[in-house]
Amino acid sequence: MPRLRSAALWLALLAAGLASGAEPGPSAPRIVVAFANPAPQPLLPAGTSGSFYSGSGYHNGQSARQQARRIARSYGLRELDSWPIQALSMHCVVFEITDGRPAAGVLAAVSKESGVLLAQPLNEFHTLTTAADAAYNDPLYDLQTNLTTLGIARAHQRAQGAGVRIALIDTAVDVSHPDLAGRIVRSHSFLSAPAAAAGSLRHGTAMAGLIAAVANNHIGMVGIAPLARIEVFEACWQLNADADAAACNTFTLARALAAALASGAPLVNMSFAGPADPLLAALVQVGLRRGVVFVGAAAEPAAPFPTAIEGVLTASGTDAPPAQALAVPAQHVLTLRPHGQYDFASGSSVAAAEVTGVIALLMSAAAGRLDAPALRTLLKADTAALDVNAALALIDSRGHAALAARTH
């Protein structure tokens, strides 16, 4: 029987000390500035001048780099990191304000400079799990009361998420957990010091388990979409040992979101929330226009990203969910912990992972032919009553959603 709790304290990511990059560090204000960085053009004839790209792929153009250096000199900024965002044709730079000036004044001035497409604070975002109390051969299935409430055993007779790939933007995941065997496609880190110790993998491992823990393997628990596959985009770092709380920022999330879009994953889980963020919103909107489905965790009004973006599906685990949110059980829900362990978790992070798993079931049944409006309609978001089996009943044997009698 797997242990439900570990007596050991895991090493927090911050204990290692992030010495460089755009992750936590000194208290000096940090801002994000994006410069125009158009797609590469054919090389100019010999003797001409202008921006150029070397090698293959999308890179930071010479003009964008020069503009970044000019802004740094003009405003006394120190460049910490930069990255080209192909989806938005931008060269994105994280600057630190070195002389203690308030960020608002610097941003107001920088935003008026020629070639600057965007200037904003380097915002911080937080995962949304909270501390929790302590038909399958998986020994812990009987403890998964959330699956009973959601009707997952019946839903699994129709679909288990096969063929669906999910982008999980979170902390790193313990890919060696026996209940995730074969479920993790690959992992990418967008931190300057990627997590290594299992103690810094708590939140991501928990979310991955809720979504896709292997079913009927005589081990542990059952995921909502046990045949779905997860691609991990590590953009958050754990804040304390043996606790789920984790943080991310504009820069790490922008890199992860852009990479998730490039991966082609049709479904993105974002179990975190934070302030309105123009850069991140632009990336999500690019994905929405491409048909990508985003699931976010409901949070307080002061943390509207990502759920305030029209088209993002909102998951809530509260008794009084926000309007249009999908309500699911999210208190004392069994999930995975690093080192092959299990424990309970609560919060709207949990709700987002559960909704992501349910959507993977619908996408699998419909062979992927469902966008966010169709999913919201199928899941009755207008009444906040998520009913996966009723939704599956509206998807016929050819994978078409029977939505004619329902409006988006």
Looking at residue 279, its pLDDT comes to 98
Looking at residue 55, its pLDDT comes to 44
The stretches of 93-201 forming alpha helices (DSSP H) are 103-110, 145-150, 152-155
How many whole angstroms from its chain centre is CA 345? Answer: 18
**pLDDT greater than 90 at residue 118:** yes
Looking at residue 93, its pLDDT comes to 96
Residue 45: pLDDT band with limits 50, 70, 90: low
At the topology level, CATH places domain 126-393 in Rossmann fold (3.40.50)
Round the average pLDDT of the chain to a whole number and report it.
Answer: 85
**pLDDT greater than 80 at residue 229:** yes
The residue-averaged pLDDT of 370-396 equals: 80
Looking at residue 7, its pLDDT comes to 30
Bridge-partner residues for 85, per DSSP? 90
Residue 266: pLDDT band with limits 50, 70, 90: very high
Residue 130: pLDDT band with limits 50, 70, 90: confident
CB atoms within 10 A of CB 47: 5
pLDDT tens for 59-102 read 778 889 999 999 999 999 999 999 999 999 999 999 999 998 99
What does the block give as tokens for 188?
């990418």
| DSSP element (H, E) containing 79 | strand 77-85
Give me the percent of the chain exceeding a pLDDT of 90. Answer: 68
Which of 3-7, 40-44, 286-290 is predicted most confidently?
286-290
At the topology level, CATH places domain 23-121 in Alpha-Beta Plaits (3.30.70)
Looking at residue 158, its pLDDT comes to 94
Residue 20: pLDDT band with limits 50, 70, 90: very low
CA distances 209 to 169, 216, 250, 254, 265, Å, are 14, 14, 26, 24, 18
State the span(s) of the chain assigned CATH 3.40.50.200.
126-393
State the span(s) of the chain assigned CATH 3.30.70.
23-121
User: Are 205 and 141 contacting, i.e. CB atoms less than 8 angstroms apart?
Assistant: no
Main-chain phi, psi angles of 68, to 5 degrees: -65, -40
For the four alpha carbons of 321, 334, 271 and 406, in that order, the dihedral sign comes to negative
Bridge-partner residues for 83, per DSSP? 92
Looking at residue 192, its pLDDT comes to 83
pLDDT tens for 230-264 read 999 999 999 987 889 999 999 999 999 999 999 99
The stretches of 216-317 forming alpha helices (DSSP H) are 250-263, 278-289
Q: Any idea which residue has 């965790």 for tokens?
A: 297
User: Are 326 and 386 contacting, i.e. CB atoms less than 8 angstroms apart?
Assistant: yes
Give me the percent of the chain exceeding a pLDDT of 70. Answer: 82
**pLDDT greater than 90 at residue 25:** no
pLDDT tens for 51-61 read 443 445 667 78
The residue-averaged pLDDT of 176-192 equals: 95
pLDDT tens for 349-360 read 999 999 999 999
Q: Residue 20 and residue 80: Cα distance in Å, rounded?
A: 8
What is the pairing mode between strands 229-234 and 293-297? unpaired
**pLDDT greater than 70 at residue 12:** no
Looking at residue 404, its pLDDT comes to 37
What is the pairing mode between strands 326-327 and 184-189? unpaired
Closest to 154 (Cα-Cα) out of 137, 138, 166, 136? 136
User: Are 141 and 147 contacting, i.e. CB atoms less than 8 angstroms apart?
Assistant: yes
**pLDDT greater than 90 at residue 24:** no
Q: Residue 209 and residue 189: Cα distance in Å, rounded?
A: 19
pLDDT tens for 306-341 read 999 999 999 998 777 787 889 999 999 999 999 999
Looking at residue 314, its pLDDT comes to 94
The residue-averaged pLDDT of 175-200 equals: 84
Residues near 31 by beta carbon (within 8 Å), at least 6 away in sequence: 77, 94, 95, 97, 103, 106, 107, 110, 119, 120, 121, 122
Residue 179: pLDDT band with limits 50, 70, 90: very high
Q: Any idea which residue has 């293959």 for tokens?
A: 56
Residue 22: pLDDT band with limits 50, 70, 90: low
Q: Residue 112 and residue 206: Cα distance in Å, rounded?
A: 44
Q: Residue 159 and residue 165: Cα distance in Å, rounded?
A: 14
For the ranges 103-117, 218-232, 389-403, which has the lowest average pLDDT?
A: 389-403
DSSP letter (8 states) at residue 322: P
